[in-house]
Amino acid sequence: MNDTSHYTEISQLDKPVTVKLGDKVLAQSDQVLQLIEFAHGNEYPAMLYFPRDSVAMQNFRKIDDFSTHCPIKGDASYYDLVLDGNETEKAVWSYEDPLPENSKIKNHIAFDLSKLSLDFQD
């Protein structure tokens, strides 16, 4: 039985979005999904999920011994950003096998926006 007090709303943004660290473009897409999570009367900040093929994955290294679990999204895998000899821990995550009610985020990557910046294009 689903907990109706804990759910997500997923929509596609209507404009291109770029993720950068300094001048380096890490992702760019016009197919970005916005996920808003609601739990027990609280609305969490929207998260943006980029199609995996729009992300410069060569700059990321999967963390094999760390994951988190969300009861409505599933298990998240995390990646460190390794760029120009510098490392940013847990910069992105992915629900590689999300639960059915959030299957739209499969093959998508979310960025920790406290560590990277977004650019919305007109």
Topology annotation, domain 6-115: 2.170.150
pTM for this entry = 0.91
73-105 pLDDT, tens digit each: 999 999 999 998 999 999 999 999 999 999 999
Residue 1: the pLDDT is: 42
Average pLDDT over residues 29-47: 95
Name the 3-class secondary structure at 117: strand
- Backbone φ, ψ for residue 102 (5° rounding): -125, 30
Residue 14: the pLDDT is: 92
Q: Taking the CB of residue 108, how many other CB atoms lie within 10 A of it?
A: 24
